Structure 1
Amino acid sequence: MYWSRPVGWLLDHAAYRTVVTGRSNVPKSGPVIFAGNHISYLDGPVMFGAAPRPMHVLVKKEMFAGFLGRVLRASGQLPIDRSGDRAALQRAKQVLDAGRCVGILPEGTRGSGAADNISNGVAWLAMASGATVIPVAILGTRTGDEHRDSIPELRRRLHVSFGAPLSVNRQHGEPGRVSMDRAAAEIRAALAGHIQEAVRATGRQLPGAISDPLAPTQPRHQEVAGIPADHH
């Protein structure tokens, strides 16, 4: 997959003008989960190209068709069924157990990018592997009222910010479902807070924001089919 690193760099710095901050927050070794917000088709590739370490990104299985599918597999990306895919999470855990990095967009689908709602899959993966979670704010890949399927024009300025590392652990005597819900809440709060900080720092708004983009929201968590709450 290392040949794909220069391709990611070219996407970020030749096709687009990507400003990257917070690289020093990423551990230089050991398993890492990069958890980014999701507003555009380009979020995964842009995060991949901006990261200081190579990663295997969980990509919806529908993308693994034809030429693009061959490229994704050759570059080490991991297909996942968004309706619930225990096998994909187990493959991602194997990557992390080997001390490598996984990228995930835990909101699941393209939306406002505020991390109001994330999948419990990222929490399971973090607790099962012991990996450090790095929240990643991605801004500019979709702006204003652009459609969710739109691709940003070339040379647009993008922003990728890597936040402070987070570790989540199961507490002694804590039921599995309680652990997973708590871990998901911690990850969601860290990601949402980091996105807010990135919006303030860059002046870039989340897409479709018509009121205060920094207003707090109530967290909701999605279940991941096939992952029992007490699995550990």
Structure 2
Amino acid sequence: MTDPHLERPRSDRVRSSPRYLLYPLRPVARWLLQRRYDVRVHGAAAVPTTGPVIFASNHVGVIDGPLLAIFAPRPVHVLTKMEMFRGLLGWFLWRSGQVPLDRFHPDPRAVKICVRALRQGRTVGIYPEGSRGAGDLERFHRGAAYLALVSGAPVVPVTMFGSREPGGTSGSLPKGGGVIDMVFGEPYEVDATPWPRSREQVEKSSLLLREHMLVQLDRARASTGRELPGPLPPTDVDTDPDTGVTEQGAS
């Protein structure tokens, strides 16, 4: 039987993302966050209980990453911008299973760490919008679709409401006692595509995934009665590469 880690992109030469803090700290962290916020999880039954899964979430606030890592139905390795991996915080993030990502340059190491996790039947979290913003999926990077094409893992859309208040900055936290809704949508299924995968294949899959996530976003709005917080203040710009796909195609 062929070792899946030897398939391209090869994932046999990268270290697995650690899990020794990811599993035991989730119940404690969930209890602590629930003391400050009323976190409500919807649609958890839509998440496959076994096998690889890609969680693709909109991104409105600084607390989105911890929320996904702590409240997802399964432990998740979340791609996190490498600027966060400094000092004690960086030590903690890596050992709690999070994956550092260079957003401004090709990062094959981050990709291979995620591919390795998926080939091991674990879950990966990604924010297709890249940076924090309105959370409306206007900007949509290709990473989630690429990982799905490589692994054949279903992509579960996640919609966050309440993790940033209207008018709040990219680094602001919601007020204590606020309600945060995390909605898991219907999985997007795609067959694994053998190497070589073309840019056109990834782009087409990205556009289809974006359309699926927009439908799930509308359903999440309807089911919760919640709305997104709107754009960040004009003076608050979370720098992000000007690449991705929209309804007009590639940009």
Name the TM tier (shorter chain): 0.7 to 0.9
Whole-Å separation in 1 of the counterparts to 2:201 and 2:91: 37
**Quick check: 1:67 aligned with 2:88?**
yes
Partner of 1:34: 55
Q: Is the 8 A contact 2:161 2:228 kept in 1?
A: yes
- State the Cα distance separating 1:135 from its structure 2 match: 0.3
- State the Cα distance separating 1:181 from its structure 2 match: 1.0
Q: Is the 8 A contact 1:79 1:88 kept in 2?
A: yes
**Quick check: 1:58 aligned with 2:79?**
yes
Unaligned stretches of 5+ residues in structure 1: 210-217, 224-232
Partner of 1:4: 25
**Quick check: 1:108 aligned with 2:136?**
no
SS of corresponding position for 2:83: helix
**Deviating more after overlay: 106-115 vs 200-209:** 200-209
Change (3 A) 1:200 1:149: same
Partner of 2:234: none
Q: Out of 214, 219, 225, which is 2:247 matched to? A: 219
Q: Is the 8 A contact 1:118 1:222 kept in 2?
A: no
Q: Is the 8 A contact 1:117 1:188 kept in 2?
A: no
Change (3 A) 1:198 1:159: same
Match for 1:65: what amino acid?
R
Unaligned stretches of 5+ residues in structure 2: 1-21, 232-245
Q: Is the 8 A contact 2:76 2:123 kept in 1?
A: yes
**Quick check: 1:142 aligned with 2:142?**
no
Change (3 A) 1:133 1:175: closer
Q: Is the 8 A contact 2:152 2:190 kept in 1?
A: yes
SS of corresponding position for 2:172: coil
SS of corresponding position for 2:190: coil
Whole-Å separation in 2 of the counterparts to 1:196 and 1:143: 19
- State the Cα distance separating 1:222 from its structure 2 match: 6.8
- State the Cα distance separating 1:86 from its structure 2 match: 2.1
Partner of 2:175: 153
User: TM-score under structure 2 normalisation?
Assistant: 0.79
Whole-Å separation in 2 of the counterparts to 1:199 and 1:59: 26
SS of corresponding position for 2:140: strand
Q: Deviations over 1:75-134 (max 9, x none)?
A: 111100111322201110000000000011111000110112211111111110111110
Match for 1:207: what amino acid?
P
SS of corresponding position for 2:59: coil
Whole-Å separation in 1 of the counterparts to 2:68 and 2:197: 34
User: TM-score under structure 1 normalisation?
Assistant: 0.85
Partner of 2:44: 23
- State the Cα distance separating 1:4 from its structure 2 match: 2.5
Change (3 A) 1:106 1:220: farther
Partner of 1:166: 188
SS of corresponding position for 1:123: helix
Whole-Å separation in 2 of the counterparts to 1:88 and 1:7: 28
- State the Cα distance separating 1:14 from its structure 2 match: 2.0
